[in-house]
Amino acid sequence: MKAFLLALSIACATTQAGTLFLPAYPDHVLVIDEATQKVLDTIPTQAGLPTCIRQSFDRKKIYVGTNDRNGISVIDVVSHKVLNHFVLNTGNRQLRFNSFAVDPSDKFIYTVVTEVVKQIDRYEVGKPKYAVIDLEQQKITRTADVPEEDIDATTGFMRGLMYVSPDGKYIYQFRESVVILDSSTFKVVDRIELAKPDFPGLSDVGMGPVMQSVNEPGFYTSVFNAEDPAVHRKMFGVARFDLNSRAVEFSAIGPSPEGMMGLEVTPDRKTAYTVVINGEYGTRRCEFWAFNLTTNRRTMSNEFPCRPRFSFGMSSDGKELYIYGAGFQIERYDAGTLKLRSVTDLQNDVTMAGLVVIP
Residue 205 lies in a domain: yes
> Do the domain assignments include residue 212?
yes
Q: Answer whether residue 116 is part of any domain.
A: no
Amino acid at 25: Y
Task: Give domain status of residue 69, yes or no.
Answer: no
The number of residues making up the chain comes to 359
End-to-end Cα spacing for the chain? 29
Give the pLDDT score at 15. 40
pLDDT score of 309 more than 50: yes
Instruction: Judge whether 159 lies within some domain.
Output: no
Domain annotation covers residue 320: yes
User: Degrees (nearest 5) of the Cα angle 121, 124, 129?
Assistant: 170
Q: Is the pLDDT of residue 248 over 90?
A: no
How confident is the model over 110-151, as pLDDT tens digits? 999 999 999 999 999 999 999 999 999 999 999 999 988 888
| HSE, side-chain direction, 13 A CA sphere, residue 187 | 3
User: How many structural domains is the chain composed of?
Assistant: 1
Q: Is residue 262 one of the residues assigned to a domain?
A: yes
Q: Tell me the average pLDDT across 333-353.
A: 96
CA–CA dist 19, 193 (Å, integer): 39
| Rounded Cα gap, residues 175 and 172, in angstroms | 10
Counts for the chain of helices (H) and strands (E), in that order: 2, 31
Specify if 117 maps to a domain.
no
Give the pLDDT confidence of 254-298 residue by residue, as tens digits.
888 888 887 888 888 889 898 999 998 888 999 999 999 888 889
Provide the residue range defining the domain that includes 269.
201-359
> Is pLDDT above 90 for 64?
yes
Q: Any long-range contacts for 220-227 (C-beta under 8 Å, 24+ apart)?
A: 220/163, 220/172, 220/174, 221/263, 221/265, 222/174, 222/262, 222/263, 223/260, 223/262, 223/263, 223/274, 224/250, 225/256, 225/260, 226/202, 226/250, 226/252, 227/202, 227/203
CATH number at residue 291: 2.130.10.10
Distance (Å, whole) CA 110 – CA 143:
10
